[in-house]
Amino acid sequence: MGLDQLINDCKQNNAKAQEQIYKLFAPKFFGVCLKYSANYAEAEDNLQDGFIIIFKKIEQFQFKGSFEGWAKRIMINNALQKYRNQVRFLEVVHDTVAEDAIPEIDDQDISIDYLMKIIQELPDRYRMVFNLYVLDGYSHKEIAEMLGITTGTTKSNLARARMILQEKINQYTGKETLPSTR
Amino acid sequence: MNDKKNIDRLFQERFKDFERVPDDKIWSNIHDALHEKKTKRVLPLWWKLSGIAAGFILAFLAFTTFTNSLNNEPSVVVAPKEIENRNSTESNVDSSTETRIAVENNKSLEEKNDLNTNKNSINSTSKTENKVATNNANSSENEPDAEENINLNSQIKNTKTKRISTKKSFLKPNPNTAVAKNSRITNDQDSVEKNASLKEEVVENSFVEKSTEKTQLSDKTITAKSDRATTLAENKTPNKAIKNIDSTAVALASEPNPLEEIARQNNEKDKAVADVKINRWQVTTNLAPVYFNSATNGSPIESQFADNSKSYENNLSVGVGVQYAVNTKLSLRTGLNKMTLSYGTNDIMFFGALNSLGVKNVSATSATENIEVVSATNFVALSPFEDNLQNMETGVLNQRMGYFEVPLELSYALVNKKFGVHLIGGVSTLFLEENAVSVQSATTNISLGQANNLNTIHFSSNLGLGFKYAFMKNFQAHFEPTLKYQFNTFSRDAGNFRPYFVGLYTGVSYRF
């Protein structure tokens, strides 16, 4: 059964088709959720809610563009939404870190679990901006719109995120690597 | 080997095609959320009771209407004796019955004699006839001939209450009967009259309408011209056999059809009804302020708004109605009303969000799908910083539902004078016509889209008290506060919202 047929069946709220779609995309989307969430449990919540939204909104999918892209966007939006709705006091940092200062690190055998861990440990907005920009290829402008902040802030957040990650990787590898200025 | 990489590439490479298999419980949770079983609708007790009550009322209504139609039989039944006679004949004519018939015949003919001059001749004739009748009845009890004969006799008797004469005018044109035949009859009659006044012809023709209608022709001619009479009989009533041809009496009779009798009775009844005519029909106009409310403090839009205070708006219902008075007390009514119900959910905040989740039970339009609406209580702890980032508005979430309402109600008059009081009960069918959800703040008003959990058709049970005042003979003003409790309003997820509305229906009605 083709994906399109499965999607059409999902539009009829067909449980079998939904399960197949879920099985097809759950591992990939769980990876997305893990990146955007602060911990494993939150990722599970996001995955669950994201899929519920996908199936509820699947009627709106008009087969323009890939289903995966459409669904992934919902997953990401859902994760961002959680973050938006979470009540928290953010530390307000108005700093000016050089935007282009991308730290370089040794690509040693750093486990992906560790990388995931340090991403999750990032402050929420840093994590969002880092994921959106570095891993999912959104532009600063898009991110700024998505998060309702300025591009200046997103750039600053991204730089901060990189620094934190750099530090943690260095701690992990036991090296002190100064940010390169290139 | 120290591959210096920038951190972006490191993460990009490592997280490319990164997948993790989630726990199985996630799917079961998703499945449950998507396929939650619909909660069984619990009908309120009073609804069941009112259903039973309505059933009783309808049954009572049907019964009274039916009994009335039986009791109100007009007394203009044409030939009850005839039926009686027939019945007795059919149930094996015994001698006493025959005697009675004979006696009756005698009687009737005697009465006729009063009208005529030649009493003796008639008497002799009647004797002859009676003889014939009795003979026939005796000799062939179970034969149709006997029945017919007896019918003939009784019809003769009936003629005393009907028309005794040669009234040609009663013989209306029959599609099956040429006018010439009328003249033939007339001729017969004339000749008979001339001859000896032994002749008596009663032409009875009550229903001459179409070929299906029978010509009821009771023609008793005492004449020697039996051949002619026979021909006449054959022509007049082709469906009827000529039962009795006597040398002295030729009977030409069509047996009255029971169906015909009923039809005639109905006609009579209609006439009777027309005599005591009551104005059964009534057309009304309705204008009503409608007060919308919910029995519980839920929210059909999203559960997060369940505890928010609601402000129910007062709207207007306009419509027309028609009412049929079953009797002086009970009326059945229906109509068409157009109305809008709306309410606002207070203390909400909304802002433009990145492809927001939307509001659960609202299908957003593409222009508004990024508007996020939340209950203000969820937002109390926002920092001023974030508040500034998002262009947040505080306001009200409005839901409007427009309906065409078709009520079907019974009204029972408690007082029915110039001033009247009546009880109203029934149901309405509501057809969804307008469906809009919008957010409103001090500065802006944005449509969000349509609620997707509103049924296109739902119902309400209605209970009201009506007051009327007849200010003119056929015109009356009414005021009817009516409570309409809605059910099945939402296709799913009503969020514990149980809407009802009270309409103060006022208007003018015209009876005719």
- Which phi and psi angles does A62 have, rounded to 5°? -105, 20
Q: Which residue of A has its CA nearest to B21?
A: A27
**Residue B5's beta-bridge partner residues?**
A105
Same domain, A105 and A80: no
Got the DSSP string for B30-74?
HHHHHTPPPPPP---HHHHHHHHHHHHHHHHHHHHHHHHHHHT--
Which band of pLDDT confidence, cut at 50, 70 and 90, is reported for residue A14? Answer: confident
Residues of B in contact with A135 (CB under 8 A): 11-12, 15
pLDDT at A49 over 70: yes
CB B204 within 8 A of CB B220: no
Say whether both B374 and B252 belong to one domain: no
Among A101-110, A155-164, B48-57, B115-124, which stretch is predicted with the lowest mean pLDDT? B115-124
User: Residue B255's pLDDT is what?
Assistant: 54
Domain co-membership, B190 together with B329: no
Q: What is the 3-state secondary structure (H, E, C) of B69-100?
A: HHHCCCCCCCCHHHHHHHHHHHCCCCHHHHHH
For residue B150, what pLDDT is reported? 45
The answer to whether residues B246 and B226 belong to one domain is yes
Render pLDDT for A111-147 as a digit per residue (tens, 0 to 9).
888 889 999 999 888 899 999 999 988 999 988 888 8
Residue B29 lies in a domain: no
Whole-number Å distance between alpha carbons of A146 and A143: 5
Confidence of residue B179 (pLDDT cuts 50, 70, 90): very low
Same domain, A79 and A143: no
| Range with lowest mean pLDDT among B151-160, B322-331, B334-343, B472-481 | B151-160
Preferred mutation among B14, B30, B349, B387 to probe A, highest tally of A CBs within 10 A: B30
Residues A157 and A68 reside in one and the same domain: no
Dihedral of alpha carbons A59, A65, A71, A75, sign? negative
Q: Please tell me whether residues B292 and B362 are part of one structural domain.
A: yes
Pick from A35, A90, A169: CB nearest B383: A90
Sign of torsion over alpha carbons B409, B414, B420, B423: negative
Task: Over range B144-162, report the average pLDDT.
Answer: 46
Segment among B17-21, B51-55, B272-276, B423-427 with least mean pLDDT: B272-276
Residue finishing a domain among A64, A85, A106 = A85
Residues of B in contact with A56 (CB under 8 A): 34
**What's the average model confidence in pLDDT over B280-309?**
86
Tokens of B500: 């009802």
The tokens describing A69, both together, are: 């892209």
Beta partners for residue B427, in sequence order: B408, B461
* A140 and A176 part of one domain: yes
Distance of residue B14 Cα from the nearest chain A Cα, in angstroms: 7
Q: Contact A31/B6, CB-based, under 8 Å? A: no
Reported as a single tens digit per residue, the pLDDT across B371-418 is: 777 777 665 544 555 555 566 778 888 999 999 999 999 999 988 888
Helix (H) or strand (E) segment spanning residue B204: none
Residue B493 has pLDDT above 60, yes or no: yes
State how far the Cα of B470 lies from the Cα of B478, in Å rounded to an integer.
9
Task: Select the residue of B6, B11, B379 nearest A135 (Cβ to Cβ).
Answer: B11
Full domain range(s) for residue A107: 89-182
Q: Measure in Å the smallest separation between the Cα of A24 and chain B Cα atoms.
A: 11
The predicted structure's pLDDT at residue B262: 74
Nearest-CA distance from A20 to chain B in Å? 11
A120 shares a domain with A67: no
Both A50 and A80 in one domain: the answer is yes
Whole-angstrom Cα distance, residue B316 to residue A56?
36
B92 or B468: whose pLDDT is higher?
A: B468
SS3 B453: coil
Residues in chain A with CB shorter than 8 Å from the CB of B21 are: 26-27, 30
Look at A26 and B10 and tell me if their CB atoms are within 8 Å: no
CA pair distance B242, B251, nearest whole angstrom: 8
Query: At which of B264, B296, B322 does a domain end?
Result: B264
DSSP B1: -
Asked if the model's pLDDT at residue B250 lies above 70, the reply is no
For helices A67-85 and A140-147, angle between their N-to-C axes, nearest 10 degrees: 50
Does residue B372 form part of some domain?
A: yes
pLDDT, residue B388, reads 54
- Report ipTM for this prediction: 0.83
Residue B1 sits at the chain A interface (C-beta within 8 Å): no
What's the rounded Cα separation, in Å, for the pair A167 and A169? 5
Interface contact B364, partner A, CB < 8 A = no
* Distance set, CA B34 to CA A16, B228, B304, B363 (Å): 12, 92, 19, 17
Q: Which two tokens stand for residue A170?
A: 């260095």
User: Based on C-alpha coordinates, what's the Rg of chain A?
Assistant: 18
Q: Is A26 exposed, middle or buried (0-12, 13-18, 19+ CB in 10 A)?
A: buried
Contact B34 A55 (CB under 8 A): yes
**Domain-ending residue, one of A29, A54, A85:** A85
User: Are residue B63 and residue B157 in the same domain, yes or no?
Assistant: no
Distance CA B332, CA B425 (A): 10
- B13 CB neighbour count, 10 Å cutoff: 11
pLDDT interval class at B103 (50, 70, 90): very low
Instruction: Give yes or no for a contact between A162 and A119, defined as CB atoms under 8 angstroms apart.
Output: no
Cα separation, A105 vs A178, in Å, equals 9
Q: Average model confidence (pLDDT) for chain B?
A: 68
The domain tally of chain A equals 2
CATH number, domain with residue B379? 2.40.160.20
Q: Which residue of chain A has the CA closest to B353?
A: A146
Q: Which of B476, B509, B470 is nearest to B283 (CA)?
A: B509
Q: Given an 8 Å threshold on Cβ–Cβ distance, is A15 in contact with B35?
A: yes
Does A53 contact B353 at a Cβ distance shorter than 8 Å?
no
Are residues B257 and B291 located together in one domain of the fold? no
Query: According to DSSP H, which parts of B159-278 are helical?
Result: 179-196, 226-236, 258-275
* Calpha distance A112→A32 (Å, rounded): 14
Residues B292 and B184 in one domain: no
CATH number at residue A22: 1.10.1740.10
| pLDDT at residue B147, rounded to an integer | 46
Same domain, A180 and A140: yes
The whole-number pLDDT of residue B480 equals 92
Residue B381 lies in a domain: yes
Residues A77 and A147 in one domain: no
Cα–Cα distance for residue pair B35/B451, rounded to 1 Å: 20
Question: Distance between CA B472 and CA B492 in Å, rounded?
Answer: 49
**Within-domain flag for B31:** no
Same domain, A58 and A80: yes
User: Taking residues A157-175, what's their average pLDDT?
Assistant: 85
Nearest to A134 among B11, B34, B389 (CB): B11
Determine whether the interchain pair B30/A92 forms a contact, defined as Cβ–Cβ distance below 8 Å.
Answer: no
Q: Measured between CA atoms, how close is B378 to chain A, in angstroms?
A: 8
Q: Which of A105-109, B35-39, B385-389, B430-434 has the lowest mean pLDDT?
A: B385-389
Whether B15 sits inside 8 A of A89 (CB atoms) is no
Q: How confident is the model over A55-80, as a mean pLDDT?
A: 88
> Token pair of B59, please?
């049954």
CB B285 within 8 A of CB B373: no
**A112 lies in the same domain as A64:** no
B402 CB neighbour count, 10 Å cutoff = 17
Tokens found for residue B115: 């009208």
pLDDT(B96) > 60: no
Query: Does the residue B495 lie in any domain?
Result: yes
| pLDDT, average across residues B31-59 | 73
For chain B, the domain total comes to 3
Q: What's the pLDDT score for residue B452?
A: 84
- In total, chain B counts a number of residues equal to 512
Q: Do B174 and B297 share a domain, yes or no?
A: no
Q: Is residue B198 domain-shared with residue B312, that is, in the same domain?
A: no
3-state secondary structure of A17: helix
At A128, list the tokens.
């969002």
Q: Could you please report the per-residue DSSP string of B289-331?
A: EEEEEESS---SS-GGGTTS-EEEPEEEEEEEEEEEESSSSEE
Residues B507 and B449 in one domain: yes
Examine the pLDDT at B425 and tell me if it is beyond 90.
Answer: yes
* Residue ending a domain, choose from B264, B289, B304: B264
What pLDDT does residue B387 have? 53
Cα–Cα distance, B466 to B233 (Å, whole number): 64
C-beta atoms of A106 and B383 within 8 A: no
Average pLDDT over residues B196-210: 41
Nearest CA in chain B to A100: B6
Q: Evaluate if residue B2 carries a pLDDT over 60.
A: no
Asked whether the beta carbons of B289 and B337 are under 8 A apart, the reply is: no
Q: Final residue of a domain: which of A50, A85, A120? A: A85
Which CATH number does the domain housing residue A136 bear? 1.10.10.10
- H or E stretch including A139? none
pLDDT value, residue B263: 74
Helix axes B144-158, B80-90, angle to 10 degrees: 160
Instruction: Residue B67: give the domain boundaries.
Output: 44-73
pLDDT band at B178 (very low <50, low <70, confident <90, very high): very low
Q: What is the pLDDT of residue A38?
A: 87
The answer on A95 and A75 residing in a single domain is no
The reply to whether A40 and A122 lie within a common domain is: no
CA distances from B238 to B168, B216, B254, B255 (A): 20, 12, 10, 12
B420 touches chain A (CB under 8 A): no
* Residues B413 and B301 occupy one common structural domain: yes
Same domain (yes/no): B349, B496: yes
Residue range B38-50: average pLDDT?
63
Among residues B253, B218, B65, B232, which one has the least CA distance to residue B147? Answer: B253
